[in-house]
Amino acid sequence: MLQVGCQVGESSLLSAAHLTLLQALAPLTPGVRYAEGCFGRHLLRKDPVSPLVQFGYAGRPPRRPAGAGLGVQVDQAMLERSTVEQARVA
């Protein structure tokens, strides 16, 4: 049995990674029995990622975003507006 899920408060970036993992596992497993996550703005006031990756009406899972990488773009300006403290690692 396999269960795939993420933590409460995940952004669409983590949801896109979740869907990518599920897609990669599909040929290797007889089927994912439980998959949770993709809450997006159901739990977050703002999601700094587009497109929004969250479940739909009646809990319908979203499709994996198309495009290179995870298929999403991070809004750096939104992240900076929400930043409380920064640290640089050399």
Predicted pLDDT at 23: 84
Numbers of helices and strands, H then E, in the chain: 2, 4
- φ/ψ of 70, rounded to 5, equals -85, -5
pLDDT tens per residue, range 27-57: 777 667 677 788 888 888 889 999 999 988 8
Q: Averaged over 75-87, what is the pLDDT?
A: 90
Return the domain boundaries, the chain.
Answer: 3-82
Distance from chain centroid for Cα 34: 16
- Rounded CA separation 79/90 (Å): 21
Is residue 89 very low, low, confident or very high in pLDDT (cuts 50, 70, 90)?
Answer: very high
